Amino acid sequence: MKKNTILRDAALILVLLLVAGTLYFAFSANKEEGACAVVLKEGEEIGRYPLNKDGVFSLNGGSNTLVIENGYAWLSEASCPDKICVHMGKIHLNGQLIVCLPNALIVTVEGGDDGGVDIFS
């Protein structure tokens, strides 16, 4: 009986691992180089910055600062106390995210219309 329990546990964990793998290939495995950093505030797009133009941008009335350099985008400053978004690192692949929950701000990377991703795909 004890042995059966362990087998069932293992089966459940295996199924969940397969779910994680499937979700990964469905949502996260995009390795395409992005063209634009897109800033979303509560689901609305409030800004779009090409990754091939370096610059420093103030977002959302100054609550966060977006830096674009050498094809990478990251947040260098945030008004919130925990600064999680600042520590989330640099993004450059399609679908990658930086999230600032306190300011309800999301920065993501897209192929973009002016990035010419359609030329390659």
CB-wise, 68 or 105, nearer to another protein? 105
Point out which residues bind another protein (CB under 8 A).
Answer: 5-6, 8-9, 12-13, 16-17, 19-21, 23-24, 27-28, 40, 42-44, 84, 87-89, 95-97, 99, 101-102, 104, 106, 108
Q: What is the 3-state secondary structure (H, E, C) of 11-72?
A: HHHHHHHHHHHHHHHHHHCCCCECCEEEEEECCEEEEEEECCCCEEEEEHHHCEEEEEECCE
| Rounded least distance, CB 64 to another protein, Å | 14
- Listed in sequence order, the residues at least 6 apart from 72 whose beta carbon sits closer than 8 Å to its beta carbon are 51, 90, 91, 92
CB-wise, 104 or 119, nearer to another protein? 104
| Rounded least distance, CB 92 to another protein, Å | 13
